[in-house]
Copies of this chain bind each other. A is one copy, B any other.
């Protein structure tokens, strides 16, 4: 039997090239050998966006469109919307009994996020508890593998603690521990080179950008402020154009030669930017074509069918969970 992978995204914005190299490309490869569930985590996104649900809801379809554009195939990958599988909330509530407040407070991922978000004394309980909701997502689909970055490893550890505790207390084997599939999810920097690409900073190249937008952003990329005349020796380190070429230019030998040329002088930014633009246009053109081949109606159908399929799996796990606890009265 194929192993199960669960992965997904919070629909807080359109996906960009950082997502593509960090996770989407990997998912496209994994879908051939695994039973892959991809969750659009609207419930989780609401934990820190509950005052602006419209932002989340609009992006559910955008994210689905991005998935399809890069080649995630609804015949191979099951897409679903988290909020439409209420069984996950049910499992979350039973899991909350098995986790102490102290343990949640010590979760390093959440600790960092709480600090970043400057919640101070007003941490929403839903946000604080989201690792438990995540444990429910993973285990309700009996995922064998969860592709995550290093910073998310504590989440999977906490999930597995819950699984062991549940199976021990209720004397069952119905829940499964998940393994981390460690990926390089260090996101691409933005075109300013200062911070990670993100929608809110306006410094990301989106999968849905037009050719003109891509070109404009490539030509606005931060390079090397000391590289003024063509003959000046240039710096590769911190040069955003090279960061993107590293991520997307296939011929690594030629790229090494370009770097050497740039460092000794005589290679202009415009030449490099044209090369990067061409590379990205070639990557994105087929994505764009695919994107346009789906109507909103098709998206709706794909999400509905995936969600229906995923819900069946979730319902079956919840049946087992209820039976293990003893909550099968009727």
Residues of chain A at the chain B interface (Cβ within 8 Å): 42-43, 46-47, 50-51, 53-54, 57, 60, 81, 83-84, 86-87, 89-90, 92-94, 96-102, 104, 121-129, 132-133, 169-170, 300, 303-304, 307, 318, 322, 325-327, 329-330
Which residues of chain B have C-beta atoms less than 8 A from A87's C-beta?
A: 86
Q: Assess whether A327 is in contact with B97, with CB atoms less than 8 Å apart.
A: no
**Chain B residue with the shortest CB-CB distance to A128:** B101
CA distance A112 to B133 in the complex (A): 28
Q: Assess whether A97 is in contact with B46, with CB atoms less than 8 Å apart.
A: yes
Q: Assess whether B327 is in contact with A57, with CB atoms less than 8 Å apart.
A: yes
CA distance A98 to B127 in the complex (A): 10
Q: Assess whether A330 is in contact with B129, with CB atoms less than 8 Å apart.
A: no
A-B CB contact pairs (8 Å), 21 listed: A46-B94, A46-B97, A46-B325, A50-B97, A50-B98, A53-B325, A53-B326, A60-B329, A81-B329, A84-B327, A86-B89, A86-B318, A92-B93, A96-B126, A96-B129, A97-B124, A101-B125, A101-B128, A102-B123, A104-B125, A307-B330
| Distance to closest chain B CB from A163 (angstroms) | 15
Which residues of chain B have C-beta atoms less than 8 A from A60's C-beta?
A: 329
Which residues of chain B have C-beta atoms less than 8 A from A128's C-beta?
A: 101
CA distance A326 to B61 in the complex (A): 13
Tell whether A122 pairs with B102 under 8 Å between CB atoms, given A169-B50, A322-B83: yes
**Chain B residue with the shortest CB-CB distance to A50:** B97
Which 5 residue pairs are nearest across A and B when measured between Cβ atoms? A97-B126, A96-B126, A50-B97, A89-B93, A86-B90
Q: Assess whether B98 is in contact with A122, with CB atoms less than 8 Å apart.
A: no
Tell whether A53 pairs with B98 under 8 Å between CB atoms, given A86-B89, A92-B93, A125-B129: no
Contact of A304 among B42, B50, B122, B330 (CB under 8 A): B330
Looking at A43, A98, A126, which has the most chain B CB atoms within 10 Å of its CB? A126
Which residues of chain B have C-beta atoms less than 8 A from A89's C-beta?
A: 86, 89-90, 92-93
Tell whether A51 pairs with B169 under 8 Å between CB atoms, given A89-B89, A329-B81: yes
Q: Assess whether B125 is in contact with A327, with CB atoms less than 8 Å apart.
A: no
Q: Assess whether B84 is in contact with A329, with CB atoms less than 8 Å apart.
A: yes
CA distance A98 to B132 in the complex (A): 17
Which residues of chain B have C-beta atoms less than 8 A from A53's C-beta?
A: 170, 325-327
Which residues of chain B have C-beta atoms less than 8 A from A51's C-beta?
A: 169
**Chain B residue with the shortest CB-CB distance to A119:** B100
Contact of A93 among B123, B126, B170 (CB under 8 A): B126
Q: Assess whether B46 is in contact with A83, with CB atoms less than 8 Å apart.
A: no
**Chain B residue with the shortest CB-CB distance to A91:** B89
